[in-house]
Amino acid sequence: MPEIVAVIIRAVVAFFLLLIMTRLMGKTQLSQLNFFDYAVGITIGSTASTLATNTETPVVAGVTSILVWAGLAIAIDRLTLKSLYASKIIEGEPSVIIKNGKLMEKAMARANYDLEELMTQLRNRGVFDLSQVEEAVLETNGQLSVLVKSQYRPVTPEDLNLDTKYEGIPQILVVDGNIARHRLSELKLDEGWLWEQLRNLGVNDLSEVMVAQLDTSGRLYVDKKSDWEGWN
């Protein structure tokens, strides 16, 4: 078999095997990963890359290695879900870094977490003054959860005893000129209704629409592709 054909076949096998394994492992966002998950993912990805490009590596050996690593990762995930003790040992525990505006130096040292990194994460959350922090927790994935003292939080309708209405999540009905028919069906609407709304907004050609979004009050928002042409 020509080497290029072998590489193509191996790359296809590695690609779909990696896709299946990542879906089974269930981590959908990088922010969900702790350091162990990240290291496992890098190792599996590196093994898949070797399987795809190194024709001297037997396919069976490469596939077996990926299956073993992914299988162990899935098994450990299941174990940490069922056992708090195992979760503590394998994933660690969140660490309280700030309590009532005061730094917890010992906790920072145990987590190998320095002041500059702390201040960076606080600034990313719009907090520039340590004294305004009620509590800050360093999560096992390295993210910082911050609770600001009540006197520094934005005023909410509840604070002012104001009534609020359910808003819900707007639904996108058109994307780049294509109608999301399944969403129309879920909302018990049809294309005739959609066209009527679009024409009322001056849209006669679906290809003009970049996004059409319906909010829970029944208002249709339309963004046309030509909206900013005059600014270019």
CB within 8 Å of 86: residues ≥ 6 apart? 79, 80
Question: Angle of helix 59-82 relative to helix 35-53, nearest 10 degrees?
Answer: 170
Strand partners, 138: 95, 144
Identify the band that residue 106 occupies on the pLDDT scale cut at 50, 70 and 90. very high
Compute the mean pLDDT over every residue in the chain, rounded to the nearest whole number.
Answer: 84
For residue 49, what pLDDT band results from cuts at 50, 70 and 90? confident
Are 95-152 and 171-227 equal in CATH topology? yes
User: Is the pLDDT at 37 greater than 80, yes or no?
Assistant: no
CATH superfamily ID and name for 171-227: bsu07140 like domains (3.30.240.20)
pLDDT at 197 over 90: yes
**pLDDT number for residue 3:** 74
Domain ranges of the chain: 3-88, 95-152, 171-227
Does the structure show a pLDDT above 80 at 59? yes
Q: Give alpha helix (H) positions in 54-164.
A: 59-82, 84-91, 105-110, 115-124
pLDDT digits (tens, 9 = 90+) for 128-182: 998 899 999 998 878 899 999 988 888 888 888 888 777 788 999 999 989 999 9
Q: For 58-72, 122-136, 183-197, which range has the lowest pLDDT when averaged over its residues?
A: 58-72
- According to CATH, the superfamily of the domain at 95-152 is bsu07140 like domains (3.30.240.20)
19-34 pLDDT, tens digit per residue, is: 787 777 765 455 556 6
Helices (H), 115-226: 115-124, 181-186, 191-200
C-alpha torsion 45→50→51→57, nearest 10: -150
* pTM metric for this prediction: 0.56
